[in-house]
Structure 1
Amino acid sequence: MLKGKNSDAAIMLKAMLAALGRNDMMAYLAMMAVRLLELHRVLKPTGSLYLHCDPVASHYLKILLDAIFSPKNFLAELIWKRTSAHANATQSFGAVHDVLLFYKKGGSIIWNQQYTRYTDAYIAEHFVHKDPDGRLFRRSDLRNPGVRPNLMYDYTASNGRTYAPHSNGWAVSLEVMKELDRQNRLFFPAKENGRLRKKIYLDESLGVPITDVWEDLPPIHASSPERLGYPTQKPVALLERIVAASSSEGDVVLDPFCGCGTTVHAAQKLKRQWIGIDVTHLAVALIERRLKEAFPGIKYDVFGVPKDAAGAADLAARDKHEFQKWIVATIGGQPYKGGKKGMDRGIDGFLHFRDVDNQPQTAIISVKGGGTKSGDIRDLKGVLEREGAAIGVFLTLGKPSREMEKEAASAGFYETGNHKFPRLQLLTAEQVIEGQRPKAPFSHFESLKKASRESEDKQGRLI
């Protein structure tokens, strides 16, 4: 970093290291620094960067962003109320907000002003006038905020009265004033010395320009329809506001930490092109499923996931835990304990389904990314008995041996109504890539909830 074009970030990191010492926060800031430098490099001159963080790290990140983007390119610190009050704050204030740091690369940016709807109280207080046709309006001053000698003119209105300008002059030209009068958009005062004003109709008003404090976006709670079960999921409305404000249709939106894909969902919905990046295969699988459910027929490319048996073997060789999360998520399963490492008690994931009586049932998933033996199948049979699960699914990198197949067949069948399914099913990574899935009653449903379907609009090209 010291030898790069932007050495300010390295100098700032050195200063932070001297102040903070070597700890988790310093490791996080060092990780973010190299990524923010790369984001600055690829950002278009008219582009913007939004960095979401919590108040624990926001002040450090702002200093780092100032070093990379320059303090003059800082645009706003946005406060987003992400949740309702926390009742467990016993010696401090309830932590209910996160921070979004908003920067530009330099020069002019794409900016589309966003608005919030007027409250009923605001409408009742300000839109107090009504035309004969019932349209509500408020009065707006026609006085120019500055001194404009070229807008100093007397105006004879359609009501026959002549109105003198304010000492600063009118806010509009004579031609515009005549057009406003012709369209019945001038408010004539009752008093002869009253000020001529403009009508602002409620049904034409965009609302209140959004400030840097966002309290109007409903949080994702346990019963939210859009909740998918991903721990750091953000509301689509939050990302829609950001994407709509700082890009136009057809622009490219990049989220390098895309998690469950809320940013790419919002970008697709608003007809932007997009790039989403995440390091976990669980997140990538969830995003794929989310996009297919919300936008039927959507087309996109996925890079970095196994496309054939060789790719699956390569992933297993590099990181067996990621192989496990990838293959579990690919068949629609939910990794055990969210995919966290630790003692798994012979369980790598779950599938959930309902029997003929609509009662919830469970299939247990076991994954082997290396060598396998018939004893692995016996172990899974034991887990099924211990957990009282209906079905077991054994996912393996290589082709199972005949002994393993015989052991699986000896488990018998799971029956519900007139339907029979092998109680212990074997699938290889190659079969999963080819589209084969476990056999379960009436199809299975995933532990993560489905995304709501969006419009049928399709984007021409997705990155």
Structure 2
Amino acid sequence: MLKPTGSIYVHLDWHAVHYVKVAMDEIFGYGNFRNEIIWHYGARATVRKSGLPRKHDTILLYSKSSKYTFNPIYRPYKDTEMKRYNKRDEKGQYALIKRKRRDGTVYYGKSYVNEKGAPETDVWDIPTMASTSRERLGYPTQKPEALLERIIKASSKPGDLILDPFCGCGTALAVAQRLGRRWIGIDAEMPACVVMQQRLDKLGSRPEIIDEVELMTEAKLRDMKPALFQAWAVKAVQGRMNRKLSADGGIDGWTIVGDPIQVKRSDRVGVKVVREFQTVIQDDNRMGGIIIAFGFTSGAIKKAEDAKSKYGINIELKTVKELLQ
């Protein structure tokens, strides 16, 4: 599948990296192994009685051939590095570096500051996303965009095609779109595809889900991660998602006409939820909205009926079972 200039990056943790490395050597050839990248994601270390705290994952880089695309990576110089470059001439700022001639004699040569920055090594210090990060979408394996940006810039050119066959919430696709690359994303979970689609919409792309191969059932939805269930439910009523996952004011999405949607993972959504949702609708100067859940109490159904008869507010109570039919 890879073109001759292509590369593949495989992200692994300590459980599997050594076994997968052997398999990758068999598939791509030992000679096409290019780098073992250490992604040091930092965060505060906690004491472990059984060993050292784990603070990195490994990314294996292989190429299809010796003609692979690679663009050197640069980073800003650290303050400690810049202290060495304490001299200047007409060519710029430089440091004196001790070197040896073939005959063993010593001399000092000039090493100038590179305008592009310091060459990046195979140890990447890229922190994980903070819980308050605007990037965070609630997807458990979501990677920081800075990590994918470094990978895509290093091994592709504008217009190249990026494939992520396990793309989750679509970070690689979003970064590829922003960097002017073409892309294809694949995921086994339909709700993940919905999250990707709505994320890419915000970047001006208009992605299409080509094939919805998964037959969804109520049991699968009950086991689904909250963010994915929310995405599925909003998509099921042709809505668009609210990207805020906390402090969202009780709004998980909006219908095509702008009415709020609220999603609950409960079999017995009660009066209180409907009452508070009615307030949300009124505060937003709307005349309707949708609550999606596994089930509603008789009191909740009565409250929704009262909202319509007394105030003209149409609160639709939709069960998962209805949406699956």
Determine if the TM-score, normalized by the shorter chain, exceeds 0.5.
yes
Aligned to 1:63: 22
Q: Does 1:413 pair with 2:307?
A: yes
Structural RMSD (CA) = 4.3
Inter-CA distance 413–122: structure 2 relative to 1 (3 Å threshold): same
Asked whether the equivalents of residues 261 and 291 of structure 2 are also in contact (C-alpha less than 8 Å), the reply is no
Normalising by structure 2, we get a TM-score of 0.71
Inter-CA distance 116–410: structure 2 relative to 1 (3 Å threshold): closer
Aligned to 2:314: 422
Deviation string 1:331-351 (CA, Å, 9 cap, x unpaired) is: 3569xxxxxxxxxxxxxxx99
One-letter amino acid matched to 1:205: E
Pairs within 5 Å for 1:182-197: none
Aligned to 1:298: 205
For residue 27 of structure 2, give the secondary structure of its aligned residue in structure 1: helix
For residue 61 of structure 2, give the secondary structure of its aligned residue in structure 1: strand
Aligned to 1:284: 193
For residue 200 of structure 2, give the secondary structure of its aligned residue in structure 1: helix
Aligned to 1:259: 168
One-letter amino acid matched to 2:147: L
Aligned to 1:309: none
Q: Does 1:97 pair with 2:97?
A: no
For residue 412 of structure 1, give the secondary structure of its aligned residue in structure 2: helix
Following superposition, the deviation at residue 320 of structure 1 comes to 6.1
One-letter amino acid matched to 2:317: Q
Inter-CA distance 46–333: structure 2 relative to 1 (3 Å threshold): closer
Deviation string 1:403-425 (CA, Å, 9 cap, x unpaired) is: x9xx678642289xxx8633443
Show structure 1 runs of 5+ residues with no match.
Answer: 1-41, 147-165, 168-193, 307-313, 335-349, 355-360, 367-378, 397-403, 433-463
For residue 230 of structure 1, give the secondary structure of its aligned residue in structure 2: coil
Inter-CA distance 283–198: structure 2 relative to 1 (3 Å threshold): same
Inter-CA distance 199–284: structure 2 relative to 1 (3 Å threshold): same
Pick the aligned partner of 1:137 from 93, 99, 108: 93
Asked whether the equivalents of residues 85 and 94 of structure 2 are also in contact (C-alpha less than 8 Å), the reply is yes
Structure whose alpha-carbon radius of gyration is higher: 1
Aligned to 1:244: 153
Aligned to 2:257: none
Following superposition, the deviation at residue 236 of structure 1 comes to 0.6
Asked whether the equivalents of residues 414 and 422 of structure 1 are also in contact (C-alpha less than 8 Å), the reply is yes
Distance 2:88 2:264 in 1: 66
Count of residue pairs the alignment pairs up: 284
Pick the aligned partner of 1:353 from 247, 251, 260: 251
Deviation string 1:301-356 (CA, Å, 9 cap, x unpaired) is: 321239xxxxxxx934799648977641423569xxxxxxxxxxxxxxx99239xx
Inter-CA distance 69–144: structure 2 relative to 1 (3 Å threshold): same
Q: Does 1:53 pair with 2:29?
A: no
Deviation string 1:226-260 (CA, Å, 9 cap, x unpaired) is: 22221111111111111111011100000001011
Q: Does 1:223 pair with 2:223?
A: no
Normalising by structure 1, we get a TM-score of 0.52
Inter-CA distance 243–144: structure 2 relative to 1 (3 Å threshold): farther
Following superposition, the deviation at residue 79 of structure 1 comes to 0.4
Show structure 2 runs of 5+ residues with no match.
Answer: 243-247, 253-259, 278-289
One-letter amino acid matched to 2:118: V
For residue 39 of structure 2, give the secondary structure of its aligned residue in structure 1: strand
Q: Does 1:269 pair with 2:169?
A: no
Distance 2:42 2:32 in 1: 30
Give aligned-pair identity as a percent. Answer: 31
